[in-house]
Amino acid sequence: MSFNKENMDERMKFIDIWSKYVLEHDDRVWSRQQNVIINSCLRSFSMKKEDYLKLKGDRK
């Protein structure tokens, strides 16, 4: 099986699991979990341009 096919199968499996979870749990429970994930992503990407360029290896 190719990498792309495996990747797509994993994604579809996750979607099935997550949709079942959302349907079976109270909105407040899963939305708090999503909030934690989204806020974490936003914090990790809130860096200055200079910091990003250093991380990337560019010094422009």
DSSP state of 25: S
10-44: pLDDT as tens digits: 999 999 998 999 899 999 998 898 889 888 887 77
Q: Which helix (H) or strand (E) holds 1?
A: none
pLDDT bin (cut points 50, 70, 90) of residue 49 is confident
pLDDT bin (cut points 50, 70, 90) of residue 53 is confident
pLDDT given at position 55 = 74
pLDDT given at position 26 = 93
Residues 6+ apart with CB under 8 A from 47: 55
Cβ–Cβ under 8 Å, residues 29 and 23: no
Maximum CA extent, the chain: 50
pLDDT bin (cut points 50, 70, 90) of residue 7 is very high
CA 49 to chain centre: 22
